[in-house]
């Protein structure tokens, strides 16, 4: 059974990296033909991969399996997957398998990653064209600037696999599967933001706009709320307190407040540190805390707070798809806390750490620059 567990880990990795359904199913097939115990165990463990593609794989397992016990396990796994918030297609209780199965209809798929250091996200839509290949639409979007770039082309299955291999290598953060309609929604939102800022959208978007709009749906809230019940998150102080630690996670490593916004507060900390007035460590710490609190109040009392709320909600979904459920819930708990007015006594732990990280990031760069300038001075 160790082989089955290793296989499950491989499936989880391949789904996270965006491998096509057909490719994953092909290496599952040999396991399904071994014996009912192996097939049943595989179906049970698949539940640990909370992804819509898991549901489709279980359906295909059901279609080729004739063993009644295994079919029962597959149905139970689909039910458990659905109870976790994953959209799965129901199996008809009276469905009989035909010896001649019709050609499987493929559906559009969506993929996306988290934010990079410039607050860009890479989004992908694949739209199958039966008998020809797939239309692959991809682009960078920014939540304050709109569309950064956009392109699309029809490619073969082999080219599609190569494309995802290249994306996996080049992406600064992991790419996960998302609802195709939601990716379409994000593309449309970025396009509208571009127009609102008086900018010209990429030419390819105008050519493929109809393809995107056929797929997209309107969403009132981020996708994470269809996967995690917010009632289980709201008011969870333990989750919220762990929010400050999120910035240590790899997917948040590039997060910083823009230099132009945080620079004045970094300057104040620098001046306090270099001040000729003699202050003991406790007095200095009080002064620093006052600067951090001032930065929090001035930077996050308006729209920026809600911008970060949305960013954290989007990241919660990415984390969930990566199988990091606890971090996903922490990210969502922090986001929900940003709906409330800022509390100067108990500041949002994530925002507080973001402020201090951003300030000391700038100070470290300034110290490094200063030390290099000193080293360039020729010694007499």
* Average pLDDT score over residue span 122-143: 90
- Burial of 59: CB neighbours in 10 Å, binned 0-12, 13-18, 19+: middle
DSSP annotation string for 237-283: HHHHHGGGGGGGSGGGTT----HHHHHHHHHHHHHHHH-SS---HHH
pLDDT above 90 (res 295): yes
Cβ 110 vs Cβ 179: under 8 Å? yes
C-alpha separations of 349 from 129, 284, 298 in Å: 48, 21, 16
Task: Give the number of residues written for the chain.
Answer: 380
* pLDDT recorded at residue 20: 79
DSSP-derived pairing of the beta strands 109-112 and 176-178? antiparallel
Top pLDDT among 179 and 274 is at: 179
Per-residue pLDDT tens digits for 172-211: 889 999 999 999 999 999 999 999 999 999 999 999 999 9
| pLDDT of 341 over the 60 cut | yes
CA distances 175 to 15, 110, 249, 318, Å, are 9, 10, 16, 8
Query: Would you say residue 102 has pLDDT above 50?
Result: no
Q: What is the pLDDT of residues 358-367, one digit of tens each?
A: 999 999 888 7
Over range 71-81, report the average pLDDT.
Answer: 88
Question: From the centroid of its chain, how far is CA 228?
Answer: 14
Binning pLDDT at 50, 70 and 90, where does residue 271 land?
A: confident
What is the pLDDT, as a whole number, of residue 1? 53
Cα–Cα distance measured from residue 349 to residue 213, given in angstroms and rounded to the nearest whole number: 39
Burial of 355: CB neighbours in 10 Å, binned 0-12, 13-18, 19+? buried
Q: What is the pLDDT at residue 315?
A: 97
Higher pLDDT, 93 or 292: 292
pLDDT at 131 over 80: no
> What mean pLDDT comes out for the span 17-37?
78
Instruction: Count the helix, strand and coil residues of the chain and give each as a percent rounded to the nearest 5.
Output: 60, 10, 30
């Amino acid at each position: 059974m160790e082989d089955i567990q290793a296989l499950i880990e491989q499936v989880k990795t391949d789904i996270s990296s965006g491998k096509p359904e057909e490719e994953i199913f092909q290496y599952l097939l040999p396991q399904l033909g071994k014996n009912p115990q192996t097939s049943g165990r595989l179906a049970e463990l698949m539940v640990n991969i909370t992804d819509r593609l898991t549901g489709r794989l279980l359906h295909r397992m059901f279609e080729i399996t004739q063993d009644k016990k295994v079919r029962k396990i597959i149905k139970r796994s689909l039910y458990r997957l659905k109870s976790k918030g994953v959209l799965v297609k129901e199996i008809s209780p009276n469905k009989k398998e035909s010896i001649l199965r019709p050609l499987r209809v493929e559906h559009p798929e969506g993929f996306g990653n988290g934010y990079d250091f410039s607050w860009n996200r890479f989004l992908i839509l694949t739209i199958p064209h039966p008998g020809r290949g797939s239309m692959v639409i991809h682009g960078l979007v920014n939540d304050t600037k709109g569309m950064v770039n956009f392109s699309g082309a029809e490619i073969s299955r082999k080219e599609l696999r190569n494309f995802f291999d290249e994306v996996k290598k080049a992406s600064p953060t992991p790419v996960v599967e998302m609802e195709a309609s939601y990716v379409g929604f994000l593309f449309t939102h970025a396009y509208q933001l571009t127009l609102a800022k008086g900018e010209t959208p990429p030419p390819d978007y105008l050519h493929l706009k109809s393809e995107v709009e056929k797929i997209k749906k309107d969403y009132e809230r981020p996708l994470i709320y269809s996967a995690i019940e917010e009632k289980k998150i709201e008011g969870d102080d333990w989750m919220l307190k762990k929010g400050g630690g999120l910035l240590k996670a790899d997917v948040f490593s590039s997060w910083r407040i823009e230099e132009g916004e945080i620079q004045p507060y970094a300057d104040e900390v620098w001046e306090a540190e270099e001040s000729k007035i003699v202050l003991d460590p406790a007095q200095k710490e009080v002064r620093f805390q006052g600067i951090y609190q001032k930065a929090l109040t001035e930077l996050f009392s308006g729209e920026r707070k809600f911008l970060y709320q949305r960013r954290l909600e989007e990241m919660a979904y990415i984390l969930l798809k990566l199988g990091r459920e606890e971090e996903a819930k922490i990210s969502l708990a922090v986001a929900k806390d940003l709906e409330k007015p800022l509390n100067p006594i108990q500041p949002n732990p994530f925002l507080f750490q973001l402020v201090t990280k951003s300030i000391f990031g700038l100070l470290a760069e300034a110290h490094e620059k200063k030390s290099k300038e000193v080293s360039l001075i020729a010694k007499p």
